[in-house]
Structure 1
Amino acid sequence: MVAEHVATDPRPANDLPETMRAAVMFGPGDIRVVDKPVPRPGPGEVLVKVSVCGMCGTDLKIYDGHFPGTPPYGTYTPGHEWAGTVVEVGETVDEVETGDRVCIEAHHGCGRCENCMAGQYTACLNYGDVAKGHKASGMTVDGGFAEYAIHHVAALSKMPDNVSDLDAVLITTAGTGLFGIDMIGGYLLGKDVVIFGPGPVGLMTVQAAKQLGARRVILVGTRASRLAKGKDLGADHVIDANETDPVAEIRRLTGEGADVVIESSGNVRTPQQCVESVRRGGTILVVAFYPEPVTIDLAAVVRQGVQLHTTRGEGGNNVRRALALAEMGRLRGEELVTHEFPLEDIAEALRVVRERDGDPLKAVIRL
């Protein structure tokens, strides 16, 4: 009876409206807030009333038309860091129910390729193939810059009462750092860790590294306000690369170089600095995207026996691990939110993020 009702009843359930306000891409640099039909969840899917959706560098690439695999212009709603309240569930869903507060991880793999079967769903071999089950919210399918959004239940997590909606935006971000740490072995106890880039990913990774027992966490950046926030969040040392040679300072602090160097800045010069900052036999982890190809001394990486790893997104169930840390009070997210905008002002929010107007750390859309 449930399947028949979902398939044939044209009216939204639970007194939901028929239409919603949503940001839609109409072309590069052209985003407009328009009316769209409220989507309906299919089997395994959940409809969420979005409360907040974060904005990051990927959204700028999407806005500029430089992100692969997005849906057609005129229909597509971006936004991949969102949280809200469940208002309807699709057939077979019993993991969450109406009224639950949830946050997401953006990637839901197809569940059928070799990578997904090995748990590597952010590297799904069917990336972008909705017909085979892959969905990346706000990237390959509609996302959270809208009053309502749909996501697969497997990529949703119920939020504890003491984790706020604004915390949740940074929980997704924290999952990126934790996934990278997970993929390099997850064992930071007693190690010296350098993090390049005090943006949201870097600042959440500072906290995660300390919670995982790092001996010293050294944060490198170019903006004093962000470095100060990193110090407040637990970094043992901060280095302003505008004032100090970061490689020389890291070597001074660590002696032989850092055990682990994490690159989250996206600056094309920084990967080579990572090579020069890591100790012999150490590990470099790259979680950033770059606007152009980068150059590193790969021969030095090989000579020094350095392990070089990359990870994409927030895989490996690490959003749920981040959520557990936040519930215990060991990850602070909400205080990284510096700017809030209503949905109708999304173009202005994108401008502020691009131009760094008012030194935004994390901008969010409130719905």
Structure 2
Amino acid sequence: MQAYQVAELTPGLGADERREFRDRALSSARNPSQFTQLREIEGYGEARLSLIERYLLQGTPDASALAAREAVALSAQASQYAKAMEGRYVAALLLMRRVLLGTALVTGLLSVTSALRALLLWRSEMDRRARREARQREALSLASHELRRPLQSLLLASDLLRHAETQEQRTHLLALIEDGAAQLASRADLTRLNDLYLDVTLRPRAQDLRPLLERFAAPRVELSLPLEPLVWPVDGDRLRQIVENLVENALKYTDGPVEVALREVGSQPEVTVRDHGSGLSDTLHGQVFLPYDQGPRGLRGGQGLGLPLVRRYARAHGGDVTLAAAPGGGLQATVRLGQPAGTRAETQAAGGAGLLQARSDAG
């Protein structure tokens, strides 16, 4: 392009000679393969080799000037690219120097590369194994935490069964034992530990939520349930674990009664568990959902796993759990249920008919 521009400005040159210079420049512009890293160079600015070809084909003095200007700009972009590559090469050389100095006792660079690659693969495998073992420990810790209550219930019911005097008492205690055994089976399936406690795969079905909460009635637990069925797609076993953990925590934090309520808020179920203890500061409301955090004083005998599991199950149901100061003192945990994964599309497609039928059946 410079030669062609000089030819254009040189008096005495014939049209054929000028055309020859132009054809040389045009041939160069039409052969982008001779310019290595052209795409990368063009990425450093607006100049393009194709524009030079277009201007040359116009054959006018103004177009020739534009082509020359484009070539200068493209050359400047090439200089920027060269500087960038120079910095990379310098960094690469420095890195190579450090590697060579650090591996001076190794017989050859190829052996060093193989050793480093093997070391990286080993480290990666060790990291994967550590993460896998950590997940297994977490699943086993959560399973141990959740098996404690049904085991206690089984032991207590079996002990009482030995001293039962009437058939009615024995029937009631046998029902408690059957329920405890079912909960053990639900929470201790070794083939589903990840689905139960880590990745949380639910098995939801539409059901009345009131019977799920009625089992928590106790001398220190006051229930407030709606008169009409409140039907919602939930995994009953997981919802039971949610309420169990919240009630257990509330009982440990207060010597007074614990209030469990179920109501429908904005067409969605909401379960609240309220105690009358000393409560928590606002800054700790989120902290206690971290694994192994036991609150400001530490729960008596707690492991700090209950609330994190509650949040995991609540979010798997498409909802969440929050803590707030209760009116008049104490702490209130609120579990708002949404649509569990896998049930949204079915519910929308059915137009709610299935839930209405389930509500009618439960009534």
Which structure would you say has the larger RCO, counting Cα contacts within 8 Å and 6 or more residues apart? Answer: 1
Q: Choose between structure 1 and 2: higher strand proportion.
A: 1
Task: Please indicate the TM-score interval, normalised by the length of the shorter structure.
Answer: under 0.3
TM score, norm. by length of structure 1? 0.21
Q: Choose between structure 1 and 2: higher helix proportion.
A: 2
* Higher alpha-carbon Rg: 2
TM score, norm. by length of structure 2? 0.22
